[in-house]
């Protein structure tokens, strides 16, 4: 079952619908503007992490919030469009990259900076491959929601990782490396799961 259809996600979107959506300023109450706002906060994420992990946590959180709201606004105002969906998906890939760049900044003083950079780079490739495999499968007529670490869960994972870093400064190196290794394992598992699923549904 997808995270987006889980009870926790239902509760999250219900809170947004009742508490946040009615309070969005009219200037931002357009789907594409919220999509761009999400990218804006993602652009701030590396600088946020450079200041403090909690600042990075806030940047990712606000970016994810805007990304959640753009679809809700599109449905509530009946302003959904194919271009809007394309824009949202495209900017999400940029945001994914910027989130990881924020964690890369935290490795800047590590004596193992080069291995960490390689790990972040591999994580970025796997992250983009997860999204690309789904998009490509659907363009060929299949449907693909398989895989453990879909985008919603990836954002939740990064939020938890950054939050732990915020409150465990003495163990920052351990948390950084543990979080990176676990992220690589989970994204690799997701890629393998999706590849197997796509092979099943697209086999002629």
Which tokens sit at 63?
């970016």
Contact 35, 87 (CB under 8 A): yes
Which of 92, 96, 152, 204 is labelled catalytic? 92
The SS3 of residue 78 is coil
70 flagged as catalytic: no
Residues serving a catalytic function are 92
């Amino acid at each position: 079952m997808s995270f987006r259809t889980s009870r926790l996600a239902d509760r999250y979107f219900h809170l947004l619908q009742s508490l946040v959506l009615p309070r969005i300023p009219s200037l931002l109450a357009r789907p594409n503007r919220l999509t761009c706002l999400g990218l804006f906060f993602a652009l701030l994420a590396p600088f946020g992490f450079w200041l403090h992990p909690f600042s990075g946590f806030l940047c990712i959180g606000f970016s994810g919030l805007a990304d959640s709201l753009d679809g809700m606004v599109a449905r509530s105002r009946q302003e959904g469009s194919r271009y809007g969906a394309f824009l949202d998906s495209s900017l999400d890939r940029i945001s994914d990259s910027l989130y990881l760049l924020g964690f890369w900044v935290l490795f800047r003083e590590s004596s193992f900076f080069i291995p960490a950079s390689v790990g972040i780079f591999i994580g970025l490739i796997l992250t983009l491959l997860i999204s690309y495999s789904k998009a490509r499968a659907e363009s060929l007529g299949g449907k693909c929601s398989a895989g453990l670490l879909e985008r919603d869960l990836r954002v939740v994972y990064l939020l938890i990782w950054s939050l732990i870093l915020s409150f465990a400064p003495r163990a920052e190196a351990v948390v950084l490396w543990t979080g990176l290794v676990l992220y690589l394992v989970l994204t690799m598992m997701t890629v393998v799961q999706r590849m197997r699923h796509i092979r099943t549904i697209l086999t002629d």
